[in-house]
Structure 1
């Protein structure tokens, strides 16, 4: 049986409030003793008591706030991180087994972090940079390991840069390739570029929006038009070839319509095959091309 936990019964972050007011309200929520927590968890697991689940969630909101604060370095709003962490907390309450002998706080930390991790990977400005388990570990641990290395040897490297030894150390610790560490470090230290002008004072400065244009080639209408044009051109070419005699068609095909990777026949090669001069082959070719041009114009 599944139960839905209503977020309307505990503090929420909305446009009408502030993150500070939410944190203040969450910190005022009563904490539960181990006995109280166990009783509430059993009521929810055995009877589906939503009020019991609500009490479990609200008593752990401050845990979500503390965990979310640790992910502020990724440039995402604190309020959004908390909301995602709350989803993880509700999932943890729903799956919590009171008979396992562990406190909810230990069990919930995994679910809260997992939900925040997923949110960061989906919404961070460098989306889809961590696709494997090892790369995700690199994504979420690179900054802390860099800081640790900097404290160990400040003369060798600082928080903003990594030398070869630092790259190799991190790669070995996290089980990834050194080039993956370099790529992740480059993405972390890169800066965003504004599409719009940042100031009205410098009129001579052009922001990217001034010279970036839409790619009309990939619009559905343009694609259909190209397909139709290619079809008409192929039909017209086949019709023009059909208007030639066999010898003229053979000469045109071998001179102008060879397949990719094949070489076009020379005038002398064709002259030897047909037992005429190269000049005669050139004349036949020119006459055939003229006839084909007339046929194509007539069908256009």
Structure 2
């Protein structure tokens, strides 16, 4: 769409805010007769008259609303559907040739639906379910038939395939895509872990390459064995040496000073240091 058409769109009624107010606004815009429409279209083609284009668009906004409302079953904002339809209408006006002898509304319906279709396919699901032209046609036609028929029987699948000119496998594949739902990659922060349905997410089944499970288990076992050997070696010491080592190195509280232990055992701090050094030497020998 050209810059001129984009700037002209800013002067059109906006579909944001109250939809009903917008609908009432566009319904008050007078419709054009066939002669008026042809005259405006000729001015646009021959003179590139943007005012003529604006009048053609304004008089057909109510038709866009009518088309957009037929797509309300997809759960998408009505204002967005109308906005996309308006873009299609502006593209149609730019390409409309009055010499073809058809009314603008008949020509524009293709462009309006094309823009709305594109929006629906992009926003109905996080993952696209129809990428080719054939799949898009099948998607919209199949959804229309499902709303009328409900669940398909094998006979109905064959009927749909024949009606749309596709294979039964194509119908079944598209029906499966439409029946699927989006799964979040990770659990949301407000999920209730007590519910089994919330205990699954694809992210939980990915390999964490930052760690090696076998190595972690090996390290845990080595630490457990080392700790077990350490306490077994400590138990071979006399009670005073055990108390000095536990007070100096193993207690969770702050490290006891040499002077505190010296006061406790009525010896010098240097003697406590010697007892500590001898105890550490015995431990190393016991664990070697």
Query: What is the TM-score of this pair, normalised by structure 2?
Result: 0.63
Match of 1:70 in 2: 70
Unaligned runs of 5+ in 2: 211-288
CA contact (8 A) 1:74 1:124 kept: yes
- Aligned-partner Cα distance in 2 for 1:39–1:3: 24
Change (3 A) 1:214 1:13: farther
Unaligned runs of 5+ in 1: 151-158, 223-300
CA offset at residue 197 of structure 1? Answer: 6.9
Could you say which structure has the larger radius of gyration?
Answer: 2
Choose 76-85 or 187-196, whichever is displaced more.
Answer: 187-196
- Aligned-partner Cα distance in 1 for 2:51–2:154: 56
Deviations 1:154-197 (A, max 9, x none): xxxxx1x1111111111121122212212222232334556537
Q: RMSD of aligned C-alpha atoms?
A: 2.9
Q: Given the alignment of the two structures, is residue 174 of structure 1 paired with residue 176 of structure 2, yes or no?
A: no
Superposition map of 1:87-98 within 5 A: 87-98=87-98
CA offset at residue 104 of structure 1? Answer: 0.5
CA contact (8 A) 1:134 1:174 kept: no
Partner of 2:125: helix, strand, or coil? coil
- Aligned-partner Cα distance in 2 for 1:196–1:57: 45
Match of 1:187 in 2: 177
Match of 1:162 in 2: 152
Match of 2:9 in 1: 7
Match of 1:47 in 2: 47
CA contact (8 A) 2:193 2:199 kept: no
Match of 2:283 in 1: none
Equivalent residues, number:
205
Q: Given the alignment of the two structures, is residue 20 of structure 1 paired with residue 10 of structure 2, yes or no?
A: no
Match of 2:244 in 1: none
Change (3 A) 1:32 1:211: closer
Match of 1:196 in 2: 188
Partner of 2:194: helix, strand, or coil? coil
CA contact (8 A) 2:138 2:164 kept: yes
Match of 2:131 in 1: 131
CA offset at residue 198 of structure 1? Answer: 7.1
CA offset at residue 216 of structure 1? Answer: 8.3
Partner of 1:125: helix, strand, or coil? coil
Change (3 A) 1:204 1:30: same
Partner of 2:203: helix, strand, or coil? coil
CA offset at residue 28 of structure 1? Answer: 1.4
Change (3 A) 1:177 1:198: farther
CA contact (8 A) 1:3 1:48 kept: no
Superposition map of 1:132-151 within 5 A: 132-148=132-148, 150=149
CA contact (8 A) 1:34 1:103 kept: yes
CA contact (8 A) 1:135 1:176 kept: no
Query: What is the TM-score of this pair, normalised by structure 1?
Result: 0.60
Change (3 A) 1:54 1:214: farther
CA offset at residue 210 of structure 1? Answer: 7.5
